């Protein structure tokens, strides 16, 4: 088994430091970083002979210089060329393995592979890749069907294997009933960045409550509290985010006679809970829900000043 991971930092010194730390840690547990699989690259420029960008989980992540953005570059994520090749190889192997089967069988074998791969990559910019793959596969299929009828004309082959279907479709393999999926049929869904005071899980109470406890009783309580608090920590007033640890707090501490009813409970960040507990030991004041401090906003995991 291998575990792939990426370390991102703007400073190469930090990246090199991280590598050393990881190396030492892996050595302690009897593992190692394989040098041939460990690469340091810059996302925008060439670094020590390595091209810009890197491949991760089948994606290529890199930046391109452009004049149209504020920073002078933009980030593009695409299926990696290795992933495209492997996928095409798989489709070709299917065609080769069943040279004498019916079109129906071929379509039944190809469709799940096409759908699966396209869905995996549908969140990145791949319209071009999808069309290119459809074209490559089409050429392969044309050979697959032509080989069966060496004495027939191209028109005959077209009419038999690629008849018109669904009005808009032409040149798509089908037998009147079964139709080959096209990579380009899968819509490309862009991620929308979370902005400002919003949490990625706003309104998704089930998600949040699932994070905090396995027991239905606790989950229900957390769901209710999240709704009541509008997804904000009752101590610092900041919106909970996906990576935050939450804890249920007793508004009036039990040590001061506070009860176990929902009315006396609130959700806090774990670190806020620690602070509050420390404060509770001194004086007790009712914490108030607050908004983000003025001029601050969340950008991904950073709190930044506008
Ligand atoms: Zn908090």
Quote the ligand 1 centre to 121 CA distance (angstroms): 36
Rounded mean pLDDT, 263-284: 78
Is a pLDDT exceeding 80 seen at residue 291?
no
Is residue 265 within 8 A of residue 225, CB to CB? The reply is: yes
Domain boundaries in the chain? 1-38, 43-79, 81-185, 205-305
Residue 84 has a CB neighbour count (10 Å cut-off) of 20
* Residue percentage of the chain with pLDDT more than 90: 23
Average pLDDT for the chain: 79
Quote the ligand 1 centre to 276 CA distance (angstroms): 10
Quote the ligand 1 centre to 269 CA distance (angstroms): 4
Quote the ligand 1 centre to 122 CA distance (angstroms): 35
Relative orientation angle of helices 103-120 and 127-146, to the nearest 10 degrees? 170
Q: Answer with the residue of higher pLDDT: 87 or 275.
A: 87
pLDDT category of residue 282 using cuts at 50, 70 and 90: low
Is residue 236 within 8 A of residue 267, CB to CB? The reply is: no
Rounded mean pLDDT, 214-239: 79
Q: What is the 3-state secondary structure (H, E, C) of 24-56?
A: HHHHHCCCCCCHHHCCCCCCCCCECCECCCEEE
Is a pLDDT exceeding 90 seen at residue 143?
yes
Is a pLDDT exceeding 60 seen at residue 295?
no
Quote the ligand 1 centre to 261 CA distance (angstroms): 21
Quote the ligand 1 centre to 225 CA distance (angstroms): 14
Quote the ligand 1 centre to 266 CA distance (angstroms): 11
Q: Kindly provide the ipTM of the predicted complex, given to two decimals.
A: 0.94
CB neighbour burial string for 246-267, b if at least 16 within 10 angstroms, e if fewer: bbbbbeeeeeeebeeeeeebbb
Quote the ligand 1 centre to 301 CA distance (angstroms): 14
Is a pLDDT exceeding 50 seen at residue 203?
yes
pLDDT category of residue 211 using cuts at 50, 70 and 90: low
Is residue 209 within 8 A of residue 198, CB to CB? The reply is: no
- Assign 271 to helix, strand or coil: helix
Is residue 75 within 8 A of residue 43, CB to CB? The reply is: yes
Quote the ligand 1 centre to 265 CA distance (angstroms): 14
pLDDT category of residue 286 using cuts at 50, 70 and 90: very low
pLDDT category of residue 93 using cuts at 50, 70 and 90: very high
**Which residues are registered as beta bridge partners of 47?**
50
Is a pLDDT exceeding 70 seen at residue 285?
no
Quote the ligand 1 centre to 234 CA distance (angstroms): 7
């Amino acid at each position: 088994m291998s575990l792939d991971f990426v370390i991102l930092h703007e400073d190469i010194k930090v990246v090199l430091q991280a590598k050393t730390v990881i190396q030492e840690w892996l050595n302690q547990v009897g593992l190692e970083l394989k040098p041939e699989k460990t690469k340091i690259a810059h996302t925008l420029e060439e670094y020590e002979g390595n091209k810009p960008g890197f491949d991760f989980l089948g994606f290529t992540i890199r930046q391109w210089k452009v004049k149209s953005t504020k920073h002078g570059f933009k980030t593009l994520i695409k299926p990696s060329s290795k992933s495209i090749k492997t996928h095409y190889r798989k489709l070709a192997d299917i065609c080769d393995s069943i040279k004498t089967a019916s079109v129906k069988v071929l379509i039944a074998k190809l469709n799940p592979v096409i759908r699966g791969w396209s869905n995996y990559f549908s969140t990145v910019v791949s319209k071009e890749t999808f069309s290119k793959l459809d074209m490559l596969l089409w050429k392969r299929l044309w050979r697959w069907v032509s080989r069966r009828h060496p004495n027939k004309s191209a028109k005959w082959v077209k009419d038999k294997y690629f008849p018109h279907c669904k009005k808009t479709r032409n040149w798509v393999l089908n037998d009147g009933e079964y139709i080959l999926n096209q990579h380009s049929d899968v819509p490309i869904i862009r991620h929308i960045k979370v902005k400002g005071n919003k949490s990625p899980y706003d309104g998704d109470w089930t998600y949040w409550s699932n994070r905090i406890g396995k027991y239905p009783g606790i989950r229900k309580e957390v769901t209710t509290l999240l709704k009541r608090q509008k997804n904000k920590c009752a101590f610092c007033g900041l919106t909970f985010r996906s990576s935050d640890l939450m804890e249920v707090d007793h508004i009036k501490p039990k040590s001061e006679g506070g009860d176990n009813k929902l009315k006396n409970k609130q959700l806090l960040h774990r670190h806020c809970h620690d602070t509050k507990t420390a404060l509770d030991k001194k004086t007790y004041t009712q914490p108030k829900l607050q908004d983000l401090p003025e001029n601050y906003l969340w950008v991904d995991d950073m709190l930044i000043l506008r």
